[in-house]
């Protein structure tokens, strides 16, 4: 029972329970919370891509960032900062999204997919671990994007304010485009497919807020969990994702939602090579940027402009992924998934190799 | 005591640098400067795991962790 006194374990359990609750309330299967999928849906809702089945302003993302902002402000941890290779971070976010959308999920969804019995997630998680392992190698060799610096506090409010604008767009869904002389989106809202499956707005927003507060307090990070295990044999963060997985698995079993196997899994495909390679790219990009996509959202809410740029890179990357057929679908990888993953890997490997410094140690 | 300035560095670089410094200057101790609560918590946890004593003070935006070998 001593594990229950660990705030990370408790938070992991609550986050797992919220994810399953959001699925019961209408979110797509094994997608109670998926940072990559949800940012991709927002990208579509804003017209950055035209995949009509994945367009919806997901309030969970808004809640995550605003929950983090509120929690950070209440605990005097809201600090505007930035300036550590922002353009590089933009493209790390971009390619992390390309990789995640080849697998069809971020690390959080990979864990939720496994908890729902989707065996393809094992391949994806193996790829994620491999990507993180490569990133850890670069970190050990002195990889760095350089220092960030503190800014005026107001500059840290850009991402939270962007989330408020997104919330207004979600609430009023204005038709701001014109096609064939008639009003149309953006804002687009899917009428069929995963984008049309969602919990009520208030439930999604509140769920996201709670997860945002908990993740801000506990530093919950899926990529950091594996990274710290490899780097310093530290199980601290790992305990959080074990609790997250166990709770989701338990609830899926209780609710009769657990179905083991590779074939016919919801919003998933069984191209093992590209599931592995996609998540390897995502894992490497997340490691080089300093944390998983959920963690990047949380940091962007704490005033970290570099994390905010990474999130915007994910948003734009999702648009390009769909526009250029790099995103996979349940039918398998897209026409250009392989190209996208290979270009992304080349970018990240070159970056990891080039951005090394040895003068940052003790002086 | 040696000084390690890890301010402004992304996760997990403060931890990597601190780990290296703790191994290199085990007997002397190290003063680690960081500027986020996450880095402070991570370096403190690492130091305690490795059997060091840690005291934390603040200086403006910075957290300064004095990492010393156990008496």
CA-to-CA distance for A150 and A148, rounded, in angstroms? 7
Q: Under CATH, which number does the domain B2-69 receive?
A: 3.30.110.40
Nearest CA in chain B to A363: B3
State whether residue A186 is helix, strand or coil. Answer: coil
On the 0-12 / 13-18 / 19+ scale of CB atoms within 10 A, B54 is middle
Asked if pLDDT for residue B71 goes beyond 90, the answer is no
pLDDT at A359: 83
Label residue A1 by pLDDT band (50, 70, 90): low
pLDDT tens digit sequence for A306-358 = 999 999 999 999 999 999 999 999 999 999 999 999 999 999 999 999 999 98
pLDDT tens digit sequence for A145-188 = 999 999 999 999 999 999 999 999 999 999 999 999 999 999 99
- Of all residues in chain A, what percent carry a pLDDT higher than 70? 99
Domain coverage including residue A238: 3-360
Structural domain boundaries of chain B? 2-69
pLDDT tens digit sequence for B16-45 = 999 999 999 989 999 999 999 999 999 999
pLDDT tens digit sequence for A116-156 = 999 999 999 999 999 999 999 999 999 999 999 999 999 99
Choice between A107 and A362, residue whose per-residue pLDDT is larger: A107
Strands B52-59 and B62-69: antiparallel
Label residue B1 by pLDDT band (50, 70, 90): confident
CA-based nearest residue to B11, from A125, A151, A18, A136: A136
CA-to-CA distance for A21 and B41, rounded, in angstroms? 32
Q: What is the tally of structural domains in chain A? A: 1
- Of all residues in chain A, what percent carry a pLDDT higher than 90? 96
pLDDT tens digit sequence for A205-220 = 999 999 999 999 999 9
**Global confidence as pTM:** 0.97
Label residue A257 by pLDDT band (50, 70, 90): very high
Rounded to an integer, the average pLDDT of A76-96 is 97
pLDDT at B17: 95
State whether residue A84 is helix, strand or coil. Answer: coil
| A134 membership: H or E segment, kind and range | helix A120-140
Interface of chain A against chain B, CB under 8 Å?
75, 77, 79, 81, 84, 139-140, 144-150, 219, 221, 224, 227-228, 231-232, 234, 236, 289-291, 306, 360-363
Asked if pLDDT for residue A362 goes beyond 90, the answer is no
- ipTM of the complex, rounded to two decimals: 0.94
Label residue B70 by pLDDT band (50, 70, 90): confident
DSSP state of A12: H
Rounded to an integer, the average pLDDT of A48-73 is 98
Label residue A2 by pLDDT band (50, 70, 90): low
Rounded to an integer, the average pLDDT of A70-89 is 97
Q: Which residues of B touch A221 (CB under 8 A)?
A: 11
**Which residue is listed with tokens 């179905």?**
A259
| A179 membership: H or E segment, kind and range | strand A177-179
Tell me the residues of chain B between 23 and 62 that have a Cβ less than 8 Å away from chain A: 24-25, 30, 35-38, 41, 45-46, 49, 61
């Amino acid at each position: 029972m001593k594990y229950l006194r660990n705030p990370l374990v408790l938070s992991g359990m609550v986050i797992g329970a919220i994810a399953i609750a959001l699925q019961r309330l209408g979110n797509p299967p094994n997608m109670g919370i998926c940072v990559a999928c949800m940012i991709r849906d927002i990208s579509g809702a804003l017209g950055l891509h035209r995949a009509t089945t994945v367009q919806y302003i997901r309030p969970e993302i808004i809640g995550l960032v605003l929950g983090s902002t509120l929690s950070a402000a209440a605990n005097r941890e809201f600090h505007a900062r930035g300036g550590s290779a922002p353009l590089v971070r933009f493209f790390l976010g971009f390619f992390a999204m390309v990789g995640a959308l080849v697998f069809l999920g971020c690390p959080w969804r990979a864990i939720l997919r496994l908890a729902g019995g989707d065996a393809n997630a094992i391949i994806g998680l193996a790829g994620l671990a491999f990507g993180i392992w490569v990133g850890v190698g670069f970190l050990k060799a002195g990889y760095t994007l350089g220092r960030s610096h503190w800014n005026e506090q107001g500059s840290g409010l850009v991402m939270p304010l962007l989330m408020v604008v997104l919330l207004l767009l979600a609430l009023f869904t204005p038709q701001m485009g014109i096609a064939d002389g008639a009003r149309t989106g953006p804002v687009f809202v899917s009428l069929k497919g995963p984008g049309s499956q969602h919990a009520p707005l208030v439930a999604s927003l509140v769920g996201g807020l709670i997860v945002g507060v908990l993740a801000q307090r506990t530093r919950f990070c899926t990529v950091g969990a594996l990274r710290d295990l490899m780097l310093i044999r530290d199980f601290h963060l790992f305990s959080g994702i074990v609790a997250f997985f166990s709770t989701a698995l338990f609830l899926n079993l209780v609710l009769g939602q657990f179905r083991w196997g590779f074939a016919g899994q919801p919003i998933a495909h069984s191209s093992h090579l590209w599931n592995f390679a996609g998540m390897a790219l995502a894992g490497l990009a997340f490691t080089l940027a300093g944390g998983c996509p959920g963690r990047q959202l949380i940091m962007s809410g704490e005033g970290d402009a570099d994390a905010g740029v990474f999130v915007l890179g994910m948003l734009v990357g999702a648009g390009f992924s769909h526009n250029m057929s790099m995103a996979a679908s349940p039918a398998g990888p897209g026409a250009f998934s392989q190209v996208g993953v290979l270009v992304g890997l080349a970018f990240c490997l070159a970056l990891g190799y080039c951005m090394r410094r040895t003068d940052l140690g003790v002086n | 005591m040696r000084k390690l300035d890890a301010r402004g560095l992304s996760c997990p670089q403060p931890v990597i640098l601190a780990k290296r410094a703790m191994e290199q200057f085990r007997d002397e101790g190290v003063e680690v400067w960081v500027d986020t609560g996450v880095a402070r918590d991570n370096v403190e946890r690492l130091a305690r795991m490795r059997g060091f004593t840690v005291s934390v003070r603040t200086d403006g935006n910075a957290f300064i962790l004095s990492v010393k070998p156990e008496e």
